[in-house]
Amino acid sequence: MSRAGTVRSGATTCSRVSRADRRIRSRPKDRHSIEIMPDVGRCSVASALREETLAGTAPEARRWVLIEHPGPWAKAPLDTPPLAGSLGQRLDQALTDFGAKVLLVRRTGRQEDSQTRLWRVVDTATGLSLSGLWRTERDLEVLLPALAGCAGPLSEPCPEMVLVCTHGVRDACCAIKGRPIAGAVAKALASSDVEVLECSHLNGHRFAGTALTLPDGLCYGRLDQSDAPKVMKAHAEGRVWPDKLRGQTGLVGAAQAAHVWGLRELATRTGSTDVALSDVQVGSVAEESGGVTRVELVGLARPGEGTWVDVRREDLAPAPLSCGKSPESARGYTVLPQTARAAI
């Protein structure tokens, strides 16, 4: 099997190394022939070559806080003025308390720097949101009670959104891959109601290009400029490409991995590249025991019937998780042989 080909069950399908990730060298004996050398110095290329799984790697968050900010962005979003300082510290604590994550967002392409910008809190479980406009730091104070539910319920339907990570200050792979992807997706969805935005760090730069869809909270990885428009067009129609899916952010890692595995199984059975997201859903999730979590997948066998799979958490061999960083161990998941039984 090619090192950039299809990975084993429970892992993902690695994209072949793109032209942007290659160096061309002339062979001494024939100046007309070329040798393609992967740029393994980039964390995203190295991750694909070692066949690191995508499944189960999405950030875990039920709620997302989006703050429109044209940039420049600091390495940590909450260190970006005017968020830096007291507001950022209090917001960081609120995010931790309520299981939420923050993203700075901006529109693709060149935009005039409007003095009035949008903020939005999105709940992936309900698909509802709360939004407002801000001009100064004081306007963003409302995010604190909004996260706590004290600023009124999240009652607004959330528009369909695709957020592509382009946070180059955090990792070069995100900018190199993310910006062309954001432009391509924006062009492909220009006639739809889907809003395409650039965003800050989505975790896992080694899986660049990465994207998050809202309000459903699906996180994709190893996208490129050619396949990303197809993936996002399918997503707008309620279908997903399982081989590009990292997981659903409202789920814990083991449940994400099981869900992606179930969608891949369905795609294999039907011989399809994409499948309907609604065909396989996560039901009950048991407490982890001995590094293994039992997850119920509803609809994989038959509608309304639960298929239980055991998911084992593993510590992967140390490797650079970001460009230029020392090797670290990351968490991975393997889906073990499953036992089917009636849904509870």
Residue 250 has pLDDT above 90, yes or no: yes
Residue 106 has pLDDT above 60, yes or no: yes
Residue 331 has pLDDT above 60, yes or no: yes
Residue 3 has pLDDT above 90, yes or no: no
User: Can you tell me the distance from the alpha carbon of 53 to that of 50, in angstroms, rounded to the nearest whole number?
Assistant: 9
Residue 202 has pLDDT above 80, yes or no: yes
CB 210 within 8 A of CB 220: yes
Q: What is the pLDDT of residue 113?
A: 66
Q: What is the mean pLDDT of the chain?
A: 85
More confident position, 35 or 225:
225
26-76 pLDDT, tens digit per residue, is 333 333 332 333 465 788 888 888 889 999 999 999 999 999 999 899 999
Average pLDDT for 242-254: 97
User: Can you tell me the distance from the alpha carbon of 253 to that of 258, in angstroms, rounded to the nearest whole number?
Assistant: 9
Average pLDDT for 228-241: 96
Residue 209 has pLDDT above 80, yes or no: yes
Q: What is the pLDDT of residue 11?
A: 39
123-181 pLDDT, tens digit per residue, is 999 999 999 999 999 999 999 988 877 666 788 999 999 999 999 888 889 889 999 99
* CATH code of the domain occupying 1-25+36-250: 3.40.30.10
Closest CA to 71 of 204, 175, 159, 153: 175
The pair of three-digit structure tokens given for residue 133, joined into one six-digit string = 């406009």
DSSP 135-150: SSGGGGGGHHHHHHTT
Please state the pTM of the whole predicted model: 0.84
Residue 116 has pLDDT above 80, yes or no: yes
Q: What is the pLDDT of residue 199?
A: 97
Q: What is the pLDDT of residue 152?
A: 66
DSSP structural state of residue 125: T
User: Can you tell me the distance from the alpha carbon of 57 to that of 34, in angstroms, rounded to the nearest whole number?
Assistant: 36
Average pLDDT for 317-343: 77
The pair of three-digit structure tokens given for residue 285, joined into one six-digit string = 């999730």
Omega within 30 of 0 (cis) for the link into 10? no
pLDDT band at 94 (very low <50, low <70, confident <90, very high): very high
Determine which helix (DSSP H) or strand (DSSP E) holds 266, and give its type and residue range.
helix 253-270
Residue 189 has pLDDT above 80, yes or no: yes
Average pLDDT for 219-239: 96
Average pLDDT for 286-307: 91
Residue 18 has pLDDT above 50, yes or no: no
Place of tokens 């429109």: 68
Q: Within a 13 Å sphere around the CA of 8, how many CA atoms are in the beta-carbon half?
A: 6
Q: Which amino acid is at 204?
A: G
Angle, CA of 303, 309 and 314, to the nearest 5°? 145
Average pLDDT for 259-266: 95
Q: What is the pLDDT of residue 112?
A: 63
Q: What is the pLDDT of residue 158?
A: 95
Measured from the Cβ of residue 30, the count of other Cβ atoms closer than 10 Å reads 8
